[in-house]
Amino acid sequence: MKDLKDFEKEKMISEDDLKIGEEEIQKLTDKFAAEIDEVGKHKEKEIMEV
């Protein structure tokens, strides 16, 4: 995310590209956070069964 902001400051990308990049990073972050939650729930269930 910091790199995107640096690129925008240096005019290597537009503000629109910065916004799109930030949104894509957030989508990936949310996706992987959900996957981690699922793995944690599965592991917790597995531990409780033992």
Domain residue ranges in the chain: 2-49
Q: Please spell the DSSP secondary structure of 10-33, one letter per residue.
A: TTSS-HHHHHHHHHHHHHHHHHHH
pTM over 0.95: no
Residue 1 pLDDT class (50, 70, 90 cuts): confident
Write down the pLDDT at residue 48.
Answer: 93
Rounded Cα–Cα distance for residues 50 and 44 (Å):
10
Whether 50 shows a pLDDT value over 80: the answer reads no
pLDDT in tens, 12-45: 999 999 999 999 999 999 999 999 999 999 999 9
Residue 50 is classified by DSSP as -
- Report d(CA 1, CA 12) in Å as an integer: 14
3-20: average pLDDT: 93
Structure tokens at 32: 């992987």
